[in-house]
Structure 1
Amino acid sequence: MALFAAARQGRKDDAELGRGVWRRAHDRFRRGLDRFHQILEGVQDERLHAELVPIANSLADLLPRVRALCANAQRIAPSDGLDVPSSNAAYLSDVHRALSRAGNALATTAEAVAMARLDGGNAAASGTSDPASLAIESVERRADTVAASVEEAERLLDDSDR
């Protein structure tokens, strides 16, 4: 059954997001989010896990917004290739750049979670005071960059409608 569901979802994605740059931007974001959650599942320190879960939830809340952005961009300027479609004042390039920044920032946020997981384990083993809180701050800063990039893409696409 999962095979058929995946095929249906793939057709739906093709219809909404195309097969070009907008689909790639969406998929990059989704893969980063999946990776973040995979790493989060491996966090053994309960306190660290509890502090990372709200960040994970806020990032997951961005996925429907990214999908809507990419679907809207696909409606405005369909893409089936690797090139961002041309637009007045190259605003679509700016939208794509912001979406790419969000996906890349999400990947670095997942890396920060991996480092926090390692730092948390090392702190527990060595009796060090709290390097996990520094790692959490790093994850939060990176997550803020993800959210800001999504907001920038939304603003750019909204401004283009006027």
Structure 2
Amino acid sequence: MGFIKSALAGRRDDAELGKGLWRRAHDRFRRGLDRYHQVLEGIDDEALYSELVVIADGLAGLLPRVRAVCVEAQRRSPSEGLDVPGDYAAVHRALSRAGNALATTAEAAAMLRLAVGPVPVGALSVQRRATTVLEHVQEAEELMRR
């Protein structure tokens, strides 16, 4: 991304997400997604790579949903600091758990990458962790609907 595009994206993020809690939750999720994609770069086993790419696509599809939750949370309860607004503490907790689960998913994929020989269960452990990410994002969305 060029400097101009990056600056414009940063301004748009500032306007939509603020500079506080909701921005940090969104950015943490995006960094976890980037980390997962970086892990994919070193996988030689084509079958495993294919499984992990399908999971990556599913996780990438969650980013706009996380952003939508964070934008709405910022609209309803603006945050420029790190204090968790009382009414939205559960939303923040769900987003935080989604970010943590995404980091664990990337870690599981990295462990598969380091495996020697064929992996008997394929990407099952990664898929289970990715399912947890989805559940936390759904929880945050549900909490915002209430």
Length-normalised TM-score, structure 1: 0.87
Q: Where do 4+ consecutive residues of structure 1 move more than 6 Å?
A: none
Tell me the secondary structure at the aligned position of residue 79 of structure 2. coil
Task: Identify which of 96, 100, 108 aligns with 1:100.
Answer: 96
Q: Give 1:151's aligned residue.
A: 138
Contact 2:35 2:106 in 1 (8 A): yes
Q: Give 1:127's aligned residue.
A: none
C-alpha distance in 2, partners of 1:115/1:135? 12
C-alpha distance in 2, partners of 1:141/1:46? 20
Contact 1:32 1:103 in 2 (8 A): yes
**How many correspondences in the alignment?**
146
C-alpha distance in 2, partners of 1:155/1:133? 36
Unpaired runs of 5+ residues, structure 1, are 124-129
Identity of aligned residues (%): 63
Contact 1:115 1:135 in 2 (8 A): no
- Structural mapping, 1:70-149, within 5 Å: 70-87=70-87, 92-119=88-115, 122-123=116-117, 130=118, 132-134=119-121, 136-149=123-136
Unpaired runs of 5+ residues, structure 2, are none
Q: Which residue identity is paired with 2:112?
A: A
Q: Per-residue displacement from partner, 1:40-59 (whole Å, max 9, x unpaired)?
A: 11111111101111100000
Contact 2:48 2:122 in 1 (8 A): no
How far off is 1:86 after superposition? Answer: 2.8
C-alpha distance in 1, partners of 2:120/2:78? 44
Q: Per-residue displacement from partner, 1:99-140 (whole Å, max 9, x unpaired)?
A: 000001000100000001111xx11xxxxxx4x243511100
Q: In structure 2, do the counterparts of structure 1 residues 19 and 142 end up closer, same or farther at CA, with 3 Å as the change threshold?
A: same
Higher helix residue share = 1
C-alpha distance in 2, partners of 1:134/1:110? 17
Q: In structure 2, do the counterparts of structure 1 residues 156 and 97 end up closer, same or farther at CA, with 3 Å as the change threshold?
A: same
Contact 1:20 1:81 in 2 (8 A): yes
